[in-house]
Amino acid sequence: MQVHSMHFKARAGNALGDATLQANLQKFGSAGLAALRARAVEAYGHAAFERLRDAGAQIRDRSLADLDTLIERFEREATRRGATVLFARTREEARDLVLEICRRHGLKKAVKSKSMLSEEAGLNEALAAAGVLPVETDLGEYIIQLAGEAPSHIIAPAVHKSKEEVADLFERAHAKPRKTDIPEMTREAREALRTHFVSADLGISGGNFLVAETGSGGIVTNEGNGRMVTTLPRVHVCITGIEKVIPTLEDFATLMRLLPRSATGQPISNYISFFTGPKGRDDRDGPEHMYFILVDGGRTNLVGTDMQEMLRCIRCGACMNHCPVYKTVGGHAYGWVYPGPMGSVLTPSYIGLENALDLPHAATLCNQCGVVCPVKIPLPDLLRKLREKQVDRGLRPWSERFALRVWAWAALHPRIYALGAWWAARYLRFLGGGLKRITKLPFAGRGWTLTRDFPAPQGKTFRELYRKRSGGA
């Protein structure tokens, strides 16, 4: 997928000016997934859910600490059960491996269940170019594929679209009378997809987790499409990140108590599907060939570093559902596969700090994300670390660095600082005039007064008033 993360600010500006998008985001914000999560946590019990989050974080930490041996174990167990395990160092290698599998088996049509890694690798474009028709079968993914767009949310990819926009898309794609009743629209999409399920020769799925002890992949879906994708076509490819390996099925069960609750507020998702190797001799269903592609794509660069906690991520989307910035500008503004707080950490980590300069700063550090993360990733801390790395690598504009230097120097010299504050209090008070507010601030302050007034200061500093009060000079 093309990277547009350098243009966050411009894209966010467009999003703010897009009335339809704003209306859709407003709907998402008020009646959205955050409220459903809150209800689910309430029902589970806050204290118990906290313990569950601790357990989830521990499982992920243990898995990451042991990642090399876990991957080997997974490979051994999966291979023993007849699957082929492949490794890709880069997203491009991952794409090439899928294309190679298509050539080897002469595959022509791929049905896909949701996979963010497929987005990372730009798989759909590559498949189409190689003459393999990719069909997204997750309803949200299906919608945005029809629209020719990228997902704007990791679990609700079409959340930026209204029912009316989807109705228009379906009318064109299905060549049937326009419908706006959601169950009817869903039925129409199911009918369209069914022909693809039975005619596809390749199924591509993601993998929420890979279980080392059994060599299985597991996916979580609500529509059942994942089960079709992984059982009907004669070849199944599961493509996922190497960090998704966990030790045991027991661990999977624990994480499964966290994931749907955090994502959609469901105690359990409608479907949890496991795949362990291809169809056995006595099995009636299942693929003849089963591949796992484990992709690095920048992940090992984080292992053993101060950013490793990010690899705990189980892709629930809770951080973006609770993010004031995401809820205001939507996912496309972030410019690559992963939006919201987790995206603002992952994108610079995967595609390079210098290719996503705005993202670590595009957060108020309100820590709504941190307190809802099911595996306790300290997202604001990680964003701050990325900011530090930008400073260390000289990636911040000179004006910002200069201003910070001057401020820090002054703040360390109380007399000089007092003088500056004395002057600023009076100057800003003067600018505030009779209404005591400034409608246009100079220099960097312009950013503030684009959308807000700046309330003027009272005119004298606390320190000078306090000194007078206590009888000092």
Partner 1 sequence: MRVGLFVTCLVDLMRPSIGFAALELLEAAGCEVYVPPTQTCCGQPGYNSGDRDAARALAEKVLAEFEGCEYLVAPSGSCAGMIKTHYPELFADAPSLRARVERLAGRVHELTDFLANVAKLEKVPGELRGRVTYHDSCAGLREMGVKAQPRALLAKVPGLALVEMGECEQCCGFGGTFSVKFGEISGAIADRKCEALEATGADAVVLGDLGCMLNIEGRLRRRGNEATRVLHVAEVLAGKTGKR
**Applying CB under 8 A, which residues contact partner 1?**
9, 12-13, 16, 29, 324-325, 328-329, 361-368, 370-371, 384, 386-392, 396, 400, 404-405, 407-408, 410-412, 414, 417, 421, 424-425, 436-437, 439, 444-455, 457-458, 460-463, 465-467, 472
Q: Which of 148, 153, 149, 223 is closest to 189 using CA atoms?
A: 223
131 versus 324: smaller Cβ distance to partner 1: 324
Q: 438 pairs with which residues across the strands?
A: 454
| Burial group, residue 265, by CB count within 10 angstroms (0-12, 13-18, 19+) | buried
What is the Cα 234 distance to its own chain's centre?
A: 31
4 versus 279: smaller Cβ distance to partner 1: 4
Backbone torsion region of residue 326, taken as left when φ is above 0, otherwise alpha when ψ lies between -120 and 50, otherwise beta? alpha
195 versus 439: smaller Cβ distance to partner 1: 439
Contact 191, 221 (CB under 8 A): no
Contact 74, 210 (CB under 8 A): yes
77 versus 309: smaller Cβ distance to partner 1: 309
Contact 297, 350 (CB under 8 A): yes
Q: How far is the CB of 373 from partner 1 (least distance, A)?
A: 12
Contact 26, 32 (CB under 8 A): no
CA–CA dist 3, 14 (Å, integer): 17
Q: What are phi and psi of 133, to 5 degrees?
A: -80, 115
Q: How far is the CB of 147 from partner 1 (least distance, A)?
A: 24
Roughly how many angstroms between the first and final C-alpha of the chain, as a whole number? Answer: 65
Q: How far is the CB of 458 from partner 1 (least distance, A)?
A: 6
Q: How far is the CB of 391 from partner 1 (least distance, A)?
A: 4
- The structure tokens listed for 299 are 């992940």
278 versus 343: smaller Cβ distance to partner 1: 343
Q: How far is the CB of 390 from partner 1 (least distance, A)?
A: 6
Q: How far is the CB of 341 from partner 1 (least distance, A)?
A: 12
Q: How far is the CB of 330 from partner 1 (least distance, A)?
A: 11
SS3 content of the chain, % helix, strand, coil (to 5): 55, 10, 35
175 versus 412: smaller Cβ distance to partner 1: 412
81 versus 437: smaller Cβ distance to partner 1: 437
